[in-house]
Amino acid sequence: MIHIDWKPSKESSKPLYIQIVEYFKEKINRGDWPVGSEIPTQRALARMFEVNRSTIVSALDELKAEGILEGKRKAGTKIINHSFPSLTHVQPNWQSYIEEGIHIPNLKTIKQINELEFNNHFIRLSTGEASPELFPAEKMAIVLREISKSMKNLGYEEPKGMVYLREQISNYLKLHGINASLSSILIVSGALQAIQLIAMGLLQPGSTVFLEKPSYLYSLQILQSMGMRRGGIPMDEEGIIGRLIKKYKRKNKSSILYTIPNFQNPTATVMSQNRRKELIKICQQEKIPIIEDDVYRELWIDNPPPTPLKSLDTNGLVLYVGSISKTLSPGLRIGWIVGPEPVINRLSDIKMQTDYGSSSLAQLTVGKWIETGLYEEHLHYLRKQLAIRRNITMDALEKYFSDIATWKIPSGGYYVWLSIKDPISMYKLFDEACKIGILLYPGYIYDSSPNQYLRISYSYASVRHLQEGLYKLSKLIRKLIKSNHK
Amino acid sequence: MIHIDWKPSKESSKPLYIQIVEYFKEKINRGDWPVGSEIPTQRALARMFEVNRSTIVSALDELKAEGILEGKRKAGTKIINHSFPSLTHVQPNWQSYIEEGIHIPNLKTIKQINELEFNNHFIRLSTGEASPELFPAEKMAIVLREISKSMKNLGYEEPKGMVYLREQISNYLKLHGINASLSSILIVSGALQAIQLIAMGLLQPGSTVFLEKPSYLYSLQILQSMGMRRGGIPMDEEGIIGRLIKKYKRKNKSSILYTIPNFQNPTATVMSQNRRKELIKICQQEKIPIIEDDVYRELWIDNPPPTPLKSLDTNGLVLYVGSISKTLSPGLRIGWIVGPEPVINRLSDIKMQTDYGSSSLAQLTVGKWIETGLYEEHLHYLRKQLAIRRNITMDALEKYFSDIATWKIPSGGYYVWLSIKDPISMYKLFDEACKIGILLYPGYIYDSSPNQYLRISYSYASVRHLQEGLYKLSKLIRKLIKSNHK
């Protein structure tokens, strides 16, 4: 059995599981742990490294995915040969290139979902996307025909994006209280790219990104890949608790706040008007810029949410991020950032160096959707459909989950955040759910520590699948609770 | 006058001019050099730092762009206030965020061109893009109508890109001797993103990217931003001199080779068949993977180029990069990488984390172009048009440049690489050309050291503008030569 004489550092900006992966590799590469060595159980490893078992699971998954460990049901986990069996001696050692790259691989669970989502046999309670049934195919055909009549050229666009689209977005943002000149708008390929550009262009390794705890941003590896820390701030029913930022802020370290004020991913919380004002005030005092990720704004079911933080911002504090991915089509890959001009200049420069701008065809298409009013029409329709789905989902939860879970009724967006009453292994739940054909996002991918939550999306699956999926899921959870009590 | 007691390190992976910029900032921030201090002349600075004057120009440009220095014609260059005058005290110090970001700003000259290209008054001998006149608007309208009839949904695609498009690309690549399974193809948003993903996913800080000297890749800051070195390898008329790689390779340091074998940007060189074979052999021996950037392949005028390096690659050595940006439309933002499956898996994972994939609408459009055969038809047309433009350009060069420059006749692609006989300042030439309404890329952006070259693109400007622009440019060069001799 191998000998472990080291513990990962909880102070490091590197995730614990990555530290453990690196420790394993070093030991194996140095020959300390020969091929064939048996690895202790997860429980034992968790004790030795003084970490949660979930961290061990992530580390072992990674090592298995990289072909360094091999787990066999009965025989335990062993160190196996390191290199891809398929690669010959003449080939460069791609594996070492893959391992040495800067970028941290996506979380195992997310990778698995990304792949399984394209398998038609699954009920997708995972997907944060409008159902294909809700895709406005007829309206899209109208827009494309419109475009094909007038199109003259499709070249590279200005660094900040197509002028026509920026005009349309500028007009559209006025409806939400934001006055944005064309030169303060940058077109990007979705909100995710917005976050990446901001991280690359404005943050430095070691800086802190404050965020809601839990948050979608925890599911991305991108900040950690660049050496940035994530500082989770608790939430209450009014949203992120802004006043806590002062407490968490480390002296002389640059930081930024990332928030999803409307129908937050994954909790569906809407930040109250008062909290918005308070947050702006605190961030002004502390000189912490805000990234406002507002991609869910239009998806209100009961009432429109308060106006954006950006509309309250008189000092260029807020970088406002929007997109049509959640409302019209994620496949177009179009979003935008609004912010102070020098910042937008900087980000557009990086965008140019990254991909020379977003697809002109997609930009033209989105511009036309907004200009013709078809976008506004579609939003009306989408809200009605979302209300139906939300209500059906609440009925199903009431029926199947009332004794095993708690939740708040979302007033918009795509998600309901389910808290399982009895402690069960969420890793096991995820795996077992996959086996019975249900995909969902376990709460641990949205947090730095394990929890008992599930994110259920009611936007994607068909109504029949929603009901069937929730029924089967409730049965599975009951089974796991039962086996816990044995 | 300020005191300089330091020299930049030529061993560092950081560009010299960036080192100098950082040195300036440190001195100013520490208060060593107070606001108002006068900066020595470029010539004096070049002597003090022991660098080329071009390096000084880049550094000063950067410092001016960042608002740290201010140059007045007669009064010399001075240190001015550091922060943006427009930012109030309540605002976070965006400028410090901007400076501390990881990403190095784009070269001044390139930024300037990116902006000026959208000013209609310029004759663009710079743009590496097919002329708007050559855009196949009618065929595109057919494709869009076709698509609008059958479109059902536009969601996120599989991590490697739309299956339909990968099928079409796989078929298309067979015509060029490349057998690529669907799982070894990744769809990207153009060749630039391909390079970025490869750098992020496979290279580590300190590793070396070998490349042709000069090369398009020198004009990108992306590798340097990630701490990678560029190792320029000289070329002859058969392409990059592969055998020199052994000499340049540093022990135990990972490295990769980036090459544009067909109608190289900027020199228009086509790598010979023999050189291709030799290069593959050497890189196999040295275990250096190859990035083959083949975006100009289809743009042959006289004869088709030899088959790709990838078609000679039996060991998964080559990452093949292609795109339709140069042939059909850069605005679609669609390209592809073909490589060993584990590498493609890794890159697709990063792509997902970066932007969730390329625009589905654009992917569908490109797939349809290929499937219908309209792409092949358009290539025939484009080659004929390029031949006309190439010939007109050669006539104009013969007429206006034969005594002041030398060049080789390009057998395809977009560019002619012009060598000015008399030594003149290429910085001055670029600036003066801008003033008379002509945009061009000076050779220094394609090299690590200054040179006497210009890249002239004959693909973009109208025939009338090509002739007019070259005539005016020749007059300007004559004027600069004359003033040199005074």
B45-83 confidence digits (pLDDT tens) = 988 898 988 889 888 888 887 777 887 666 678 877 543
Residues A173 and A216 in one domain: yes
- Among B356, B366, B374, which would you mutate to test the A interface (most chain A Cβ atoms within 10 Å of its Cβ)? B356
d(CA A286, CA B77): 35
d(CA A83, CA B11): 33
d(CA A440, CA A123): 9
Residue of A nearest to B360 (CA): A331
Q: Is the pLDDT of residue B84 over 60?
A: no
Any domain includes A3: no
Q: Is the pLDDT of residue A283 over 70?
A: yes
Question: Would you mind telling me the total number of residues written for chain B in this entry?
Answer: 486
Give residue A78's pLDDT.
80
How large is the ipTM? Answer: 0.76
d(CA B177, CA A343): 46
Cα A86 to Cα A68, A90, A100, B46: the distances in Å are: 15, 12, 20, 53
Q: Where residue B85 falls among pLDDT bands split at 50, 70, 90?
A: very low
* Angle separating helix axes A16-29 and A53-65, nearest 10 degrees: 50
**Closest approach of chain A CAs to the CA of B483, in angstroms?**
36
Q: Which residues of B touch A132 (CB under 8 A)?
A: 152-153, 155
| Structural domain count, chain B | 3
Q: Round the average pLDDT of chain A to a whole number and report it.
A: 88
Q: Considering only A86-90, B180-184, B256-260, which range has the smallest mean pLDDT?
A: A86-90
d(CA B344, CA B167): 16
Closest partner CB to A355 (pick from B190, B226, B350): B190
**Closest approach of chain A CAs to the CA of B47, in angstroms?**
32
Which is higher by pLDDT, A289 or A118? A289
Give residue B87's pLDDT.
27
Any domain includes B144: no
Give residue B82's pLDDT.
41
**Residue environment code for A274-287, b if the CB has 16+ CB neighbours within 10 A, otherwise e:** ebbebbbebbbeeb
Q: How large is the average pLDDT for residues A178-200?
A: 92
**Closest approach of chain B CAs to the CA of A483, in angstroms?**
36
- CB-based contact A100 B362, cutoff 8 Å: no
Any domain includes B139: no
User: For residue B18, what is the enclosing H or E element?
Assistant: helix B16-29
Q: Is the pLDDT of residue A181 over 50?
A: yes
Burial of B384 (0-12, 13-18, 19+ CB in 10 A): exposed
Do the beta carbons of residue B94 and residue A316 sit within 8 Å?
Answer: yes
Burial of A86 (0-12, 13-18, 19+ CB in 10 A): exposed
Closest partner CB to B106 (pick from A97, A158, A352): A352
Do the beta carbons of residue B233 and residue B282 sit within 8 Å?
Answer: no
Cα B438 to Cα A255, B268, B446, B466, B472: the distances in Å are: 43, 21, 19, 10, 8
Residue of A nearest to B130 (CA): A155
Q: Where residue A286 falls among pLDDT bands split at 50, 70, 90?
A: confident
- CB-based contact B100 A207, cutoff 8 Å: yes
* Angle separating helix axes B463-485 and B374-401, nearest 10 degrees: 30
Residues A358 and A463 in one domain: no
**Closest approach of chain B CAs to the CA of A388, in angstroms?**
21
Residues B366 and B239 in one domain: yes
d(CA B291, CA B280): 11
Q: What tokens does B392 get?
A: 């007109």
Residues B332 and B390 in one domain: no
Q: Which residues of A touch B287 (CB under 8 A)?
A: 91-93
Residues B39 and B24 in one domain: yes
Closest partner CB to A101 (pick from B98, B151, B201): B201
Last residue of a domain, one of A372, A392, A423: A372
Residues near A173 by Cβ (< 8 Å), separated by ≥ 6?
A: A179, A180, A322, A338
- CB-based contact A145 B147, cutoff 8 Å: no
Any domain includes A214: yes
Residues near B449 by Cβ (< 8 Å), separated by ≥ 6?
A: B52, B54
* DSSP reduced 3-state for A187: strand
DSSP designation for B326? T
CB pairs under 8 A between A and B: 292
The residue among A100, A95, A97, A104 whose CA lies nearest residue A13 is: A104
Q: Where residue A103 falls among pLDDT bands split at 50, 70, 90?
A: low
* DSSP reduced 3-state for B179: coil
- Among A113, A356, A414, which would you mutate to test the B interface (most chain B Cβ atoms within 10 Å of its Cβ)? A356
Q: What tokens does B108 get?
A: 């001044």
Do the beta carbons of residue B433 and residue B455 sit within 8 Å?
Answer: no
- Among B91, B162, B280, which would you mutate to test the A interface (most chain A Cβ atoms within 10 Å of its Cβ)? B91
- CB-based contact A361 B357, cutoff 8 Å: no
Q: Where residue B11 falls among pLDDT bands split at 50, 70, 90?
A: confident
Supply the range of the domain harboring residue B83.
16-100
- Among B200, B323, B333, which would you mutate to test the A interface (most chain A Cβ atoms within 10 Å of its Cβ)? B333
Residues B119 and B220 in one domain: no
**Residue environment code for A176-193, b if the CB has 16+ CB neighbours within 10 A, otherwise e:** bebebeeebbbbbbbbbb
Any domain includes A5: no
Do the beta carbons of residue B39 and residue B23 sit within 8 Å?
Answer: no
User: For residue A418, what is the enclosing H or E element?
Assistant: strand A415-420
Residues A151 and A124 in one domain: no
Q: Which residues of A touch B360 (CB under 8 A)?
A: 329, 331-333
d(CA B128, CA A132): 39
Residues B368 and B467 in one domain: no
Q: Where residue B212 falls among pLDDT bands split at 50, 70, 90?
A: very high
Q: What is the CATH number of the domain that holds B268?
A: 3.40.640.10
Q: Which residues of B touch A337 (CB under 8 A)?
A: none
Any domain includes A228: yes
DSSP designation for A300? B
Last residue of a domain, one of B346, B372, B398: B372
How far does CA B474 lie from the centroid of its chain?
25
Give residue A83's pLDDT.
33
Any domain includes A6: no
Q: Considering only A50-59, A86-95, B35-44, which range has the smallest mean pLDDT?
A: A86-95
Which is higher by pLDDT, A428 or A117? A428
Last residue of a domain, one of B372, B399, B426: B372
Residues B92 and B178 in one domain: no
Q: How large is the average pLDDT for residues B130-154?
A: 90
Q: What tokens does B112 get?
A: 């300037």
Closest partner CB to B140 (pick from A151, A350, A355): A151
Q: How large is the average pLDDT for residues A37-51?
A: 87
* DSSP reduced 3-state for B223: helix
Q: Which residues of B touch A329 (CB under 8 A)?
A: 154-155, 360-361
Closest partner CB to B103 (pick from A92, A200, A315): A200
Residues B421 and B386 in one domain: yes
- CB-based contact A361 B331, cutoff 8 Å: yes
The residue among A333, A90, A414, A197 whose CA lies nearest residue B157 is: A333
Q: What is the CATH number of the domain that holds B94?
A: 1.10.10.10
d(CA A175, CA A180): 11
Any domain includes A442: yes
User: For residue B390, what is the enclosing H or E element?
Assistant: helix B374-401
Residues B366 and B382 in one domain: no
Task: Tell me how far apart the 2 most distant CA atoms of chain B are, in Å.
Answer: 71
Q: Which residues of B touch A115 (CB under 8 A)?
A: 159
Q: Is the pLDDT of residue A335 over 90?
A: yes
Q: Round the average pLDDT of chain B to a whole number and report it.
A: 88
- The CB-side HSE value for A459 (13 A sphere, CA atoms) comes to 28
Give residue A1's pLDDT.
61
Give residue B96's pLDDT.
61
How far does CA B433 lie from the centroid of its chain?
21
- CB-based contact A106 B353, cutoff 8 Å: yes
Question: Would you mind telling me the total number of residues written for chain A in this entry?
Answer: 486
Tell me what percent of the residues of chain B surpass a pLDDT of 90.
57
**Closest approach of chain A CAs to the CA of B4, in angstroms?**
28
Span between the terminal Cα atoms of chain B, in Å: 31
Residue of B nearest to A106 (CA): B349
| Residue spans of alpha helices (H) in B33-158 | 42-49, 53-65, 94-100, 108-116, 137-150
d(CA B418, CA B408): 8
d(CA B453, CA B405): 9
Instruction: Establish whether the linkage from the previous residue to B261 is cis, with ω within 30° of 0.
Output: no
Q: What is the CATH number of the domain that holds B124?
A: 3.90.1150.10
Q: What tokens does A453 get?
A: 């939550």
Give residue B98's pLDDT.
60
Residue of B nearest to A158 (CA): B118
Which is higher by pLDDT, A360 or B201? A360
d(CA B435, CA B193): 33
Do the beta carbons of residue A155 and residue B129 sit within 8 Å?
Answer: yes
Report angle CA A65, A68, A69 to the nearest 5 degrees: 80
Give residue A70's pLDDT.
81
Closest partner CB to A331 (pick from B159, B346, B359): B359
Give residue B83's pLDDT.
33
- CB-based contact B100 A132, cutoff 8 Å: no
Q: Where residue A96 falls among pLDDT bands split at 50, 70, 90?
A: low
Residues B297 and B225 in one domain: yes
Q: Is the pLDDT of residue A173 over 70?
A: yes
Write the single-letter amino acid at B432: E
Give residue B380's pLDDT.
97
d(CA A258, CA A293): 7
How far does CA A60 lie from the centroid of its chain?
23
d(CA B368, CA A148): 15
- CB-based contact B152 A129, cutoff 8 Å: no
- Among B124, B148, B217, which would you mutate to test the A interface (most chain A Cβ atoms within 10 Å of its Cβ)? B148
- Among B150, B350, B363, B459, which would you mutate to test the A interface (most chain A Cβ atoms within 10 Å of its Cβ)? B350
- CB-based contact A220 B141, cutoff 8 Å: no
User: For residue B368, what is the enclosing H or E element?
Assistant: helix B360-372
